[in-house]
């Protein structure tokens, strides 16, 4: 979708911080007011620009119909140049935004079975897609979302549970908390691979009618992507790091 940069206007749009919610000292939800004309497709990411042209991509958790409100979920990296500055934003502040949104995790209507696997804040694009798809009459698609994350990332849990129970048979949502031991962290990639494979197999889906979307940390999902490829599943992915 084309961004709405005004002809001859500035290269960057200006967004306003409408609200922030600190879920923990290192995780926040941020609601921006996007500039008029900004557009995106559910599942894409936008690019925020802070001082000195420091810029980073962020998934959009809100649906396009919620514009001009743009909802993001951000994690703080104590040594991270961008997120440390992002954390200083307060309601009423401004932040620059690139006009174009990007990303492959948009809804592919050709597949009846839509399987989403997210780690941590990688759940955001799927929130956007589900808010977008599940507020209009059913098109015959079915959705499964597996979110592997830390407990605080359950911020979207109640909304997803409510959607799943309002639309039984259309959305199946599972949250798996990550184990915190050093041993689990070391084996996280292989645990993820085995867990996703077992979960996907348990759904008994026809691969010809199914697309799998992966979003999150590379170290957790790269092996899953390779496995899906080897086993002939159609998939799309976007990594955070
Ligand atoms: C397509 C895309 C979408 C993204 N969407 C989001 C989003 O919705 N919310 C969000 O908080 N971040 C998101 N990121 C990450 C974000 O763009 C920045 O990388 C992050 O804010 C850290 O930037 P920094 O300058 O503070 O730290 P940096 O110094 O740039 O990064 C610090 C380290 O953290 C790694 N890293 C980045 N993100 C993560 C993560 N989530 N978990 C673990 N390690 C990570 C980086 O690779 C690097 O090693 C996204 C990245 C991409 C590529």
Residue 122 falls in which region: left (phi positive, over 0), alpha (psi -120 to 50) or beta: alpha
Q: Residue 172 above 80 pLDDT? A: yes
Q: Whose CA is nearest to atom 50 of ligand 1?
A: 240
What pLDDT digit, counting tens, does each position of 106-164 carry?
Answer: 999 999 999 999 999 999 999 999 999 998 878 899 999 999 988 766 788 889 989 88
Residue 134's CB is within 10 A of a number of other CB atoms, namely: 18
- Do 213 and 127 contact (CB within 8 A), yes or no? no
Atom of ligand 1 nearest to the CA of 103: 1
Rounded to an integer, what distance in angstroms lies between the CA atom of residue 178 and that of residue 20?
Answer: 25
Map out the domains of the chain as residue ranges: 12-98, 113-239
The CATH code belonging to domain 113-239 is 3.40.50.80
Atom of ligand 1 nearest to the CA of 85: 26
- Which pLDDT band holds residue 42 (cuts at 50, 70, 90)? very high
Between the two ends of the chain, the Cα-to-Cα distance in Å is 24
For the segment 199-220, the average pLDDT, to the nearest whole number, is 97
Total-model pTM: 0.94
70 lines ligand 1 (CB under 6 A): no
Q: Whose CA is nearest to atom 44 of ligand 1?
A: 241
Rounded to an integer, what distance in angstroms lies between the CA atom of residue 214 and that of residue 129?
Answer: 13
For the segment 18-37, the average pLDDT, to the nearest whole number, is 95
For the segment 36-52, the average pLDDT, to the nearest whole number, is 95
208 Cβ partners below 8 Å, 6+ apart?
A: none
- Which pLDDT band holds residue 212 (cuts at 50, 70, 90)? very high
* DSSP states of 120-184: GGGGHHHHHHHHHHTTS---S-EEEEEEEE-GGGGGGHHHHHHHHHHSTTTEEEEEEEPP-SHHH
Per-residue tokens: 154: 């359950």
Q: Indicate the average pLDDT of the chain.
A: 92
Percentage above 90 pLDDT, the chain: 75
* Residue 123 pLDDT: 95
241 Cα: distance to centroid of ligand 1 (angstroms): 6
The CATH code belonging to domain 12-98 is 2.40.30.10
Q: Whose CA is nearest to atom 18 of ligand 1?
A: 56
């Amino acid at each position: 979708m084309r961004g709405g940069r005004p002809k001859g206007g500035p290269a960057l749009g200006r967004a306003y911080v409408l609200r922030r919610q600190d879920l923990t000292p290192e995780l926040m939800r941020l609601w921006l007011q996007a500039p008029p004309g900004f557009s995106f497709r559910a599942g894409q990411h936008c690019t925020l620009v802070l001082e000195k042209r420091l810029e980073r991509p962020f998934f959009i958790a809100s649906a396009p119909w919620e514009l001009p409100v743009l909802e993001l979920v951000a994690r703080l990296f104590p040594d991270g140049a961008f997120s440390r500055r992002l954390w200083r934003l307060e309601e009423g502040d401004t932040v620059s935004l690139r006009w174009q949104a990007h990303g492959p995790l948009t809804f592919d209507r050709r597949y009846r079975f839509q399987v989403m696997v997210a780690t941590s804040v990688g759940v955001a694009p799927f929130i956007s897609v589900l808010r977008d798809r599940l507020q209009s009459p059913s098109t015959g698609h079915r959705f499964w979302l597996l979110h592997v994350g830390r407990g605080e990332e359950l911020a979207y849990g109640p909304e997803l549970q409510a959607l799943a129970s309002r639309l039984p048979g259309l959305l199946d949502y599972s949250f798996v908390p990550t184990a915190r031991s050093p041993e689990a962290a070391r084996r996280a990639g292989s645990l993820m691979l085995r867990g996703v494979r077992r979960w996907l197999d348990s759904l008994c889906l026809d691969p010809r009618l199914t697309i799998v979307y992966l979003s999150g940390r590379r170290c957790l999902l790269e092996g899953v992507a390779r496995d899906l490829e080897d086993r002939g599943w159609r998939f799309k992915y976007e990594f955070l790091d």
